[in-house]
Amino acid sequence: MEENLNNEENIIREEDINEQMQVRRNKLQDLKNSGKDPYVITKFDVTHHSETIIDNYDELEGQEVSIAGRIMLKRVMGKASFAHILDSKGLIQIYVRKDEVGDDSYTDFKVYDIGDIIGVKGVVFKTKTDEISVKANEVTLLCKALNPLPEKKHGLKDIDLRYRQRYLDLIVNREIKDTFVKRSLIIKEIRKFLDDKGFIEVETPVLHTIAGGAAARPFITHHNTLDIDLYLRIALELHLKRLIVGGFDKVYEIGRVFRNEGMSPRHNPEFTLLELYEAYTDYNGMMDLTEEMFKVVSRNVLGTSKIVYGDVEIDLEKPFERISMVDAVKKYKGIDFSKITSLEEARKLADEHEVEYEPHHEVGDILNLFFEEFCEEHLVQPTFLMNHPVEISPLAKRMPEDPRYTERFELFIVGREHANAFSELNDPIDQRERFEIQAQLKAAGDEEANDVDYDLLNALEIGMPPTGGLGIGIDRMVMLLTNSQSIRDVLLFPTMKPRD
C-alpha cells in the first residue's frame, strides 16, 4: 500500500522534471558513462577556507591551497574561466585556465553547473583588479546538483519556500546564517553565565503524564506498551522543582516545549524554553539574575547591550524599570485596582471600558485583562512587571503584605513578555487548593487549566526551601538580539502545514 503510494508520487515527480533538471541529469549520466561519477568520491582534503585565504593573503600569496565549495557564479571564456565558490565561510573566486588544468578537465569544467560542489587545488594570487583568487591546477567535481539554484540577482524571496527549503535559503540568502550563528552563541553564553554561577544543567522528561506548569493546551500522544496517553511537556517547571526538593540548589534546563495553540509571528507550536530554579532566594533574586543575564549575553554576543529592534533602540545597560501590575494600570489607564474589592466592581469597570471577560473571571483576572489591553504595548524599554494577581499565578507565592497578589514578575521588552518568574509556592496546603481550583476550571471546560499534580504535592510535603524560579523564552530572546520580526526567522525549520 505504502509502496504503491510512493510509486505514484514518483511518477508525478518524473513528470515535474523540467528542461533544466533534465539537462543536469543527462550531464550526470555522461559523467557516469565516462567513469567520472561524482557520487563515488568519499573525501576531499580541504586545507583552507575562503575567509582564511582572504584574511591571510600576504602569507598565502603564491602558496598552494585546497578548497571546496559550491559554484555560485560562473564566467566561462573559450580557454579560461572565472567562478565564485561558496564554502562554509563565504565566497572566493577561482580562475581556471585550459593550459593549467588540461584540455579534458577544462572541457568538464565548462559544463559544470551553478550549484555543483567542486574541490579546487591551486595557487593563491590576485587578479589585475586586485581580487584575491585561487588559480586552479586541479578541479574535481565532488557533487552534481540535479536541481537549479534560485537566481543570483534576487535570490529566494518566496517566504513559503524559504521556510520549507531552509537549505536553499541558507545557500542563497547567506545573511540569515548569521542569525543562526548568533542563536548558537546566545545559548552558549546563557549556559556559560549560569554554569559560572554554580547552576547545574539537567534533563527532565518530555513525555508527561500530567501537562502542567503553564496555562496551555498540550499535544497528546500515546505509549503503546503502557497503553496510556502522554502529554508533550508545556513547561519544565514541575520536574525542576522536584529537584530543588531533592537537594539541588541551583538547576536549569534549556529544552523544547510544545503547546497546541495558534501560530503567529511570535508563536511556534514547539519552542525553546529556559527554566532555572535557585533555592534560598526569591523573585527579587530572579530579577537581578535576569537583568544581568540579558546584559551579559547581549554584550558577549553582540559586543554591546544597546541594541536596535525594528525602529527602537533598547538599552539593556541601565537598570530595568520595575512596576507592579496595579501601578501599571494606574499609570497607563488611571484606574486603581487596589481599591477594587468585589467582583461586581471589577465587572462594572470592565463593562465601562469595553474590556471583555469570561464568566469565571475573578477580580485578578480582570486586572490582568486591563493590563494586557492598556499597558502591555507601552512597556518598550526593559520593564519588570511585578506582583500579579493570585488568580493567574497558580504556582507563585502570595505577597505577605497582600495575599491577593503574588511575588511574581514578567520582563517586558518591546511590548512582549521575555521572562516570567516568581517566588515559588512551597506551601503544600495552599498549592493543593490552587490545583483544585485549576481542576475545577478544567472540568468547566478550560482546556488550558492544569491537572492536580499529586506527586508535586507530595514533594512539597517533603519540603521545598524558599525558591526563586525563572523562565525565559529563548526564541523571543534571539528575536530581540537579532532584530528578527518573526519567530520563524530564528527557527531553522519552523512548523509548516504540509502541502496537499
Partner RNA sequence: GAUCCAUUAGCUCAGUCGGUAGAGCACCUGGCUUUUAAUCAGGGUGUCCGGAGUUCGAGUCUCCGAUGGAUCACCA
Q: Which of residues 168-207 bind RNA (CB under 7 A)?
A: none
Is 259 a binder of RNA (CB under 7 A)? yes
CB of 18 to RNA, least distance (A): 4
CB of 400 to RNA, least distance (A): 25
CA–CA separation, 359 and 362 (whole Å):
8
Is 421 a binder of RNA (CB under 7 A)? no
Report the residue number, 174 or 197, with the smaller CB distance to RNA.
Answer: 174
- Binds RNA by CB under 7 A, chosen from 44, 57, 82, 219: 82
CB of 122 to RNA, least distance (A): 12
Please, are residues 313 and 307 in contact by the beta-carbon 8 Å criterion?
yes
Is 420 a binder of RNA (CB under 7 A)? yes
Is 309 a binder of RNA (CB under 7 A)? no
Say how many residues touch RNA, by CB under 7 A: 77
How buried is 220 (Cβ within 10 angstroms: 0-12 exposed, 13-18 middle, 19+ buried)? exposed
Amino acid at 92: I
Beta-carbon contacts of 281 under 8 Å, excluding residues fewer than 6 positions away, are 466, 467, 468
CB of 189 to RNA, least distance (A): 20
DSSP state of 243: H
- Binds RNA by CB under 7 A, chosen from 262, 400, 445, 463: 262
- Which cell numbers hold the place of 103? 584540455
Report how far apart, in Å, the C-alpha atoms of 106 and of each of 28, 80, 241, 253 are. Answer: 17, 8, 66, 55
What DSSP string runs through 388-422? -BGGG-TTBPEETTEEEEESEEEEEETTEEEEEEE
What DSSP string runs through 426-448? --HHHHHHHHHHHHHHHHTT-TT
Q: Which range in 3-11, 97-105, 219-227, 450-458 contacts RNA by CB under 7 A?
A: 97-105
Is 208 a binder of RNA (CB under 7 A)? no
CB of 405 to RNA, least distance (A): 18
- Binds RNA by CB under 7 A, chosen from 107, 221, 440, 485: 485
- Binds RNA by CB under 7 A, chosen from 249, 317, 362, 417: 417
Is 155 a binder of RNA (CB under 7 A)? yes
Site for RNA in 234-253 (CB under 7 A): none
CB of 273 to RNA, least distance (A): 8
- Binds RNA by CB under 7 A, chosen from 5, 13, 43, 153: 153
b/e burial code for range 332-370 (CB count within 10 A of at least 16 → b): bbebebeebeeeeebbebbeeeebebeeebbbbbbbbbb
Is 264 a binder of RNA (CB under 7 A)? yes
Is 414 a binder of RNA (CB under 7 A)? no
Beta-carbon contacts of 59 under 8 Å, excluding residues fewer than 6 positions away, are none
Is 33 a binder of RNA (CB under 7 A)? no
CA–CA separation, 405 and 428 (whole Å):
18
**What is the β-pairing status of strands 90-97 and 132-143?**
parallel
Is 129 a binder of RNA (CB under 7 A)? yes
Is 34 a binder of RNA (CB under 7 A)? no
- Binds RNA by CB under 7 A, chosen from 117, 384, 476, 477: 476
CB of 174 to RNA, least distance (A): 14
Is 18 a binder of RNA (CB under 7 A)? yes
H or E stretch including 477?
helix 474-482
Evaluate the CA torsion angle 427, 430, 433, 434 in order and state its sign: negative
Question: Which residues sit opposite 139 in a β-bridge?
Answer: 120
Q: Where do the H-state alpha helices sit in 334-402? A: 343-352, 363-374
- Binds RNA by CB under 7 A, chosen from 13, 128, 222, 339: 128
Is 365 a binder of RNA (CB under 7 A)? no
Report the residue number, 80 or 296, with the smaller CB distance to RNA.
Answer: 80
